[in-house]
Amino acid sequence: MRTDHCGTLRASDIGRRVSVCGWVARRREHGEHLAFIDLRDHTGLIQCVVDGAHDLRSEYVVRITGEVRSRPEGTRNDNLATGEVELGECEVEILNSAEPPPFQLDERVEVDEMVRLAHRYVDLRTDRMQRNLRVRAKVNGSLRRAMDDQGFVEIETPMLIASTPEGARDFVVPSRLSPGSFYALPQSPQLFKQLCMVGGIDRYYQIARCLRDEDLRADRQFEFMQLDAEASFVSQEEVLSFISVAVAAAVREVTGEELGDVPRMTWHEARERFGSDKPDTRFGMELIELTPVFAATEFNAFKASCIKGLRVEGGAEFTRSRLDDLTDRAKRWGAKGLVWMRVRADGELDSPVAKFLSADEIAGLVVTTGAVEGDLLLIVADERPAVCHVLGLLRLELGRPPVTEGGLQFLWVVDFPLFEALDDDNNPIPAHHPFTMPHADDVHLLDSADPQDFLKVRSQAYDLVLNGWELGSGSVRIHRGDIQKRMFSLLGITDDEAQEKFGFLLDAFRFGAPPHAGFAFGIDRLVALLAGEENIREVIAFPKTQSGHDPLTHAPSTIDPAQLEELGLRLLPVRKD
RNA sequence: GGUCCCGUGGUGCAGUUUGGAGUGCACGCCGGCCUGUCAAGCCGGAGGUCGCGGGUUCAAAUCCCGUCGGGACCGCCA
């Protein structure tokens, strides 16, 4: 039907008679016998000069055949890639009419997302969605090529699997042939890729759909795509290298830029400096250690095991209500309180608590934070994890740049702790999954009589972070039965429970499991940041709203009683608490 | 489970603080004029359950309560 795409015509095409197909983006009529039609396809716009356009309307689907010619002097449009030329002597064939679109497709205004999603098929025609989905396709393609080139084998793992109650909530699917039994949709291909290692695949990857029934966010959907990979006979170093190569390929494909070496930071350093295990390193405003400054304080609120602060440049201008608001937020995030101090011209501190501090403490505070006139100091005192957490959130609140600023700051966070805390029975709670290999230097601590020692055990687990978003994580896995048994016993999982939950994996490991390690990262998140979007819905063709609904298809929906009957299901009344 | 923000012709907003007739702006839509525009221009027109329900009041888009929908975040996401 067509010889060319709209957005590709240039001066070098002048004289050719071409056919283009697309949608009527705009119509400019100048009387009965002259009108300009901007025709749009996924490549862009071309102006077509037609003899009368009264029967053409917005978004009509047309085929236009005409001669590419130079625009008359003085009528070129520098804002258009095709602005030097136009189609003349046009023959217009209407392929389909269209109702006026439910919203305007030019991007002069931000249209309500519900309206866009309810008519996503129209929304997809916008430059923004066309660009984002094509960025996504480029990323997928370059990741595939990079993994292929590194000797990884693409293997598809099942979508209908057994439910394992660990981790995120499963989506479940009732079984028709086994009424009362359910499949689960995979949260990740984790166990299958480890089985692939036992199966001698050596290097596996998959662009895998993963599903988790947890609350949605700007960076979280029920279903999302991961580059999932696992390799045998490799160390952590090699995994970081494989993934770095793949990510670099995607970045190169989209931006044309070379990524270079991805910096590393230990989990401990990330928490202490940024109050997060996924630090946004596009900006400073790091957490400042103040515990020694107030080691001997008489101020009760500062008699805590950890005191840290933030220096907000220019923050002395914050109004009292803004400071009260920050204090409220800090409390909601789990702080006992938030101490603020405005640094005045004379070096004095303007703060409700200044009178409780000694001259030495104030002097130490100013020196340690480097505070100068006009700054604001925000200080939290509490247990160390809480202090870091709250200040980390405040730091983001006050300093985080827009998504399109600050470049792409990738970061490997390494040496995660094996356990994040102890439960009420002093059993450690795993920070990752229970198959994560402890750091070789820390294995001896697993035999310690003091449960507190468990929290010091580092694991061979690592995260890839981009601009403060966790892109993904991975680990070296436990491949030996004796270490795995020790781990289960530490976690308070009995042999019977372990067998019931992970029996097929443990069985497999008895038949010759190679040392292996892997990684998985979220493609939606990577694409969103590469596309300059704050929200992964903008890079997903048909996403769901925060409540998990699809305004286009109206999923989730009720099903026919006959379907329930066939599945052996009966519904309970909806609970309204 | 929680905190906060938003909801006004098809779209995007203003109006809400301080109650007074569905008032205004821009875009779009429909009709007319217009032979070089390109966010075309000019003239005319249509289009509204101010999310929904209740309350206060002589009077509610506006104040109060509830509810629904959307968004951001905390919890959650091994």
Is A424 a residue whose pLDDT tops 80?
no
Q: Write out pLDDT tens, residues A134-158.
A: 999 999 999 999 999 999 999 999 9
Q: Write out pLDDT tens, residues A297-328.
A: 999 999 999 999 999 998 998 888 788 888 88
DSSP class of residue A502 equals H
Q: Does A397 contact strand B, using a CB cutoff of 7 Å?
A: no
Average pLDDT over residues A373-382: 94
Average pLDDT over residues A333-352: 88
Which strand B nucleotides have any atom less than 7 A from protein CB atoms? 1-3, 10-13, 27-30, 32-41, 69-78
Question: To 10 degrees, the CA torsion angle through A121, A127, A133, A139?
Answer: 180
Q: Shortest CA–C1' contact from A396: which nucleotide?
A: B73
Please state the ipTM of this predicted complex: 0.93
- Ordered by where they begin, the domains of chain A are 6-96 (2.40.50.140), 284-399 (3.30.1360.30)
Is A402 a residue whose pLDDT tops 70?
yes
Given this model, what pLDDT does residue A576 score? 52
Distance A98 CA to B69 C1' (A): 29
Q: Does A241 contact strand B, using a CB cutoff of 7 Å?
A: no
Structure tokens at A340: 């603020």
Given this model, what pLDDT does residue A577 score? 45
CA distance A162 to A195: 15
CA distance A59 to A546: 30
Q: Write out pLDDT tens, residues A279-296.
A: 999 999 999 999 999 999
Task: Between A165 and A504, name the one with better pLDDT.
Answer: A504
Q: Does A69 contact strand B, using a CB cutoff of 7 Å?
A: no
Q: Write out pLDDT tens, residues A74-101.
A: 999 999 999 999 999 999 999 999 999 9
Query: Would you say A511 and A194 are in contact if contact means Cβ atoms under 8 Å apart?
Result: no
Place of tokens 């006009």: A374
